[in-house]
Amino acid sequence: MDTIGVRIRKIREERGIIQEFIAEQMGIGQSTYSRLEKDDCIQRDLSKKPSKLKTAQRPTNHLVF
């Protein structure tokens, strides 16, 4: 079974969207977005207490996957 990051990457690639575009829409750097697709950030952030997690600074309801 694919991880969340792998599934996100597959959808992004199927739609011909580059990492830089999605990262910009999310208000994060491309390297941070790349780590999300590799599940690097997810594993580390899941070990944090919920009060320590960062919240999105921009609404994400306009993103299309």
Exposed (0-12), middle (13-18) or buried (19+): which is 57, by Cβ within 10 Å? exposed
pTM: 0.60
Query: How is residue 58 annotated by DSSP?
Result: S
Give pLDDT tens digits for 1-59.
Answer: 888 899 999 999 999 999 999 999 999 999 999 999 988 765 554 555 555 445 555 55
Q: In the prediction, which pLDDT does 40 show?
A: 77
Q: In the prediction, which pLDDT does 2 show?
A: 85
Q: Which positions ≥6 away from 25 have C-beta within 8 Å?
A: 58, 60, 62, 63
- The answer to whether residues 39 and 3 touch, using CB atoms and an 8 Å cutoff, is yes
